[in-house]
Amino acid sequence: MNFNYSNPYLSTRLPVFARNVVSTSHPLAAQAGLRMLYNGGNAVDAAVAAAAAMTICEPVSNGLGSDSFCILWDGKELHGLNASGRAPAAWTPEYFRRKYGQDVATPPKRGFDAVTVPGAVSSWVAMSERFGKLPFADLMQPAIEIAERGYLLPVVVQQKWAAATPELQSLPGFAQAFMPWGRAPEVGELFQFKSAARGLRAIAETRGQAYYGGEIAQAIERFSATHGGNLMASDFAAYQPEWVKPIGKDYRGYTLHEIPPNGQGIAALIALGILGHFDVAGLPVDGVDSQHLQIEAMKLAFADVYRFVAEPSSMEVSVDQMLDDAYLASRAKLIDLKKAQDFGAGNPVKGGTIYLTAADENGMMVSFIQSNYMGFGSGCVEPTFGISLQNRGHGFSVDAKAANPANLVAPGKRPFHTIIPAFLTKDGQPVMSYGVMGANMQPQGHMQTLVRMLDYGQNPQAACDAPRWRYNAGLEINVESALDAQTVQGLAERGHRMEVINDSYQDFGAGQFIWRAGDPKVEGYVAASDARRDGQAVGF
């Protein structure tokens, strides 16, 4: 790909060119990964070290009680890892009805009854054991040091931290962990997380065993019981991450790969499969025609994803059916190029997150995403080991008559998941590891940035910096304030109901990109980091 390296968008970032690269949404985490590469490690070592550091550096978005997914190129083939959490053994629809009433639709948003067994730590161990070079304990050391010594709070993270505090301050362990002076830290104040350092040491010394069945799991069980939850150490001991085969869809001669359901990555593949039936490159890149077409394709994708995607064993249609070329061609025909529509699901049977990426000069590339779901997750923080627990259980349904009955809660089941890493190949060879975080913005970001690169030749940093839109529901979309005013007006004239938003972190996600420029030992990579967060791409 011959990129245009002029950047038409306002940005404080430039592409980074190097043979060994780490890109994350916090500089200290990026440097933690780079430290592993300097010490003789590979991209997996770098990714795990960066992921551990991110639990300390951006606790609004992830923690030691998060879930994660990964797609990695080991130098020869592509691998996927699903480390999303499973429901505790006690969770049934009846469990929630007894506690919250017969009309309850989902598990609660916050508190212990929102927490599934966290999978992130298991992913670090699995990746290290299968593909890493350095001792696992070494990978935890930068995060331990950051947690012990502390760091000065950056601008974007502080804004989200302060915004979340009023809702969460009364939840178990939250104030003790994240309100050290009885309030959220200010920009530039030193934040230390010594209990998380203790947890990281236990994880490092036992290669995760303390977490899955050992002293950390036992501490979480006691903490859960004290506050009305039913999360048991036995739930942790039973948990295993799952190595999976990524799913893919061709677009403009390349193949985009995503983790299969229970995640929403298939939405990006469906949208691209629909866009493949249009001459997107023949439309002005930031014009109303191109943006309208992409929005409508994304709506069609979400209509099917929200209706059908769940734990694979519970789905009533298959991934192959949802990605069938003839089916997607029929969906493409529903798009009116001059009018916004509210689409329903088709019938395929007939036919608050962090993302990071790392690559090394030997060709290994890692696309990794980790999340506590909503800001600070459940709001519950186990005080002895600093385990800030996610709230992924809120993604289940309690009602068998819900729009997607396949997502009904059950013991040991995984809920519908939003976090998705992405990977691009061409002719079976690696091209780019990338991701865009932010709830349902993620597949939308995957599609929008990839269209900019493949249809319009924009370089990764420009594609990252470009203004975005976000589809919500019905005819409602949010648009960034930087989007061209004539395009905004044109979208409104076609029936899109828009809100112009200035808060890019909350509504439009943030991405990290590593594009392989050629032979990693010679040309290396082109890396980008999104200015919508505090991050950085670094390399040597």
Residues 259, 265: Cα–Cα separation, whole Å: 6
Q: What is the DSSP letter of 495?
A: T
DSSP 161: H
Between CA 30 and CA 13 the distance in angstroms is 15
Query: Do 120 and 51 touch, CB atoms closer than 8 A?
Result: yes
Catalytic residue among 106, 255, 353, 418: 353
DSSP letters, 330-376, are HHHTT-BTTB---PPP--GGG--EEEEEEE-TTS-EEEEEEE-SSTT
Active site residue 353: yes
CB 161 within 8 A of CB 169: no
Q: Are the C-beta atoms of residues 509 and 445 closer than 8 Å to each other?
A: yes
CB 297 within 8 A of CB 447: yes
Question: Residues of 221-245 as b/e, b for ≥16 C-beta within 10 angstroms?
Answer: bebbeeeebbbbbebbeebebeebe
Q: Name the helix (H) or strand (E) containing 435.
A: strand 429-437
What b/e readout covers 186-205, taking b as 16+ CB neighbours within 10 angstroms? eeeeebebebbbbbbbbbbe
The owner of tokens 């104040």 is 189
Q: What is the DSSP pairing of strand 247-251 with strand 254-258?
A: antiparallel
- Tell me how far apart the alpha carbons of residues 48 and 33 are, in angstroms, rounded to a whole number: 8
Residues in the chain: 540
Query: Which residues are marked as active site?
Result: 353
